[in-house]
Amino acid sequence: MHGLRESVLDRQLMSLGIPLHKVELPQEAGMDVYDRVMETALNQLATEGITHGAFGDIFLEDLKNYREKQLQNNMMQTLFPLWKQDTKSLIKEFLELGFEAITVAVNGAILDKSFVGKRLDKAFFERLPDGVDPCGENGEFHTFCYKGPVFKHPVAFTKGDIISRSYPDPKGGAPVPYWFCDILPT
């Protein structure tokens, strides 16, 4: 949903020093395909001695339950360190610690094009309409974090084109528009 280039993700993980296990999905994979591919990947991680999975979910109970079930099938435990925390406090701490991020995907049914490709800073949060979660926890926006105290060095990038795509509404309504900002490695 972030629309990030794989090369940008690779650079981010190299700067963080986190090992990467990529899971390849076919284009337009449905949930049945996703579940099968993830089951295979989780089985492999379990054979490598991985016993826990950590997730940044804060409020979405159905997603939390799904993740718990998915990992439980592989005898793995789930960790949700941010669960039910106040998102205004979380984003304030994120910024105070020196992290920097940019919006890379914006739900066009909630926010307009002017919110995509923007740095998360005081001005960004002052512009957010009422009811929009400051962490984008309800799918309002998705971000790319490129700098902070856990990075060995900032991830260098330039902003590319801004494009629009529409996705089917899971509730059967009109297609949902999204704005994406391409992030180019430099």
* 177 and 154 co-located in one domain: yes
- What's the rounded Cα separation, in Å, for the pair 184 and 186? 6
* 164 and 109 co-located in one domain: yes
Q: Look at residue 173 and tell me if it is in a domain.
A: yes
The domain boundary residue, chosen from 32, 50, 79 = 79
The boundaries of the domain holding residue 151 are 86-185
Q: Look at residue 46 and tell me if it is in a domain.
A: yes
- With a cut of 80, say whether residue 1 has pLDDT above it: no
Q: What is the pLDDT of residues 26-75, one digit of tens each?
A: 887 888 999 999 999 999 999 999 999 999 999 989 999 999 999 998 88
* 181 and 131 co-located in one domain: yes
pLDDT at site 65: 95
Per DSSP, the three-state class of 15 is: helix
Q: What is the CA radius of gyration of the chain?
A: 17
Query: Six-digit token pair at 151?
Result: 């990075």
* 98 and 180 co-located in one domain: yes
* 75 and 108 co-located in one domain: no
Q: What is the pLDDT of residues 6-19, one digit of tens each?
A: 999 999 999 999 88
Q: Look at residue 6 and tell me if it is in a domain.
A: no
- Count structural domains, the chain: 2
131 in the Ramachandran plot: left (φ > 0), alpha (ψ -120 to 50) or beta? left
Q: Which of 165, 166, 160, 167 is nearest to 181 (CA)?
A: 160
Query: Six-digit token pair at 30?
Result: 């449905």
Provide the 8-state DSSP code for 150: T
Q: What is the pLDDT of residues 126-183, one digit of tens each?
A: 999 999 999 999 999 999 999 999 999 999 999 999 999 998 887 888 999 999 999 9
pTM: 0.89
The domain boundary residue, chosen from 79, 95, 115 = 79
